[in-house]
Amino acid sequence: MSKKKYLLSALAIICLLIASTIYVMNKYPSEEEKAYHRIAMCYVIEHREIQADNPELIAFFNKVAQGGVPDYALNKPKIYDDFARELINYYLKLSPQQQQEVKSDRQSCDRILKGA
pLDDT tens across 29-65, in order?
A: 888 899 999 999 999 998 887 777 778 888 888 888 8
CA-based nearest residue to 38, from 54, 19, 61, 55: 61
Mean pLDDT computed over 5-28 = 83
- 11 neighbors 39 (Cβ within 8 angstroms): no
CA distance 82 to 27: 9
On the question of pLDDT at 1 being above 70, the answer is: no
pLDDT score, position 68: 74
On the question of pLDDT at 84 being above 80, the answer is: yes
pTM beyond 0.85, yes or no: no
pLDDT score, position 42: 92
62 dihedral zone (left: phi>0; alpha: psi -120 to 50; beta): alpha
CA distance 116 to 113: 5
28 φ/ψ angles, rounded to the nearest 5 degrees:
-115, 140
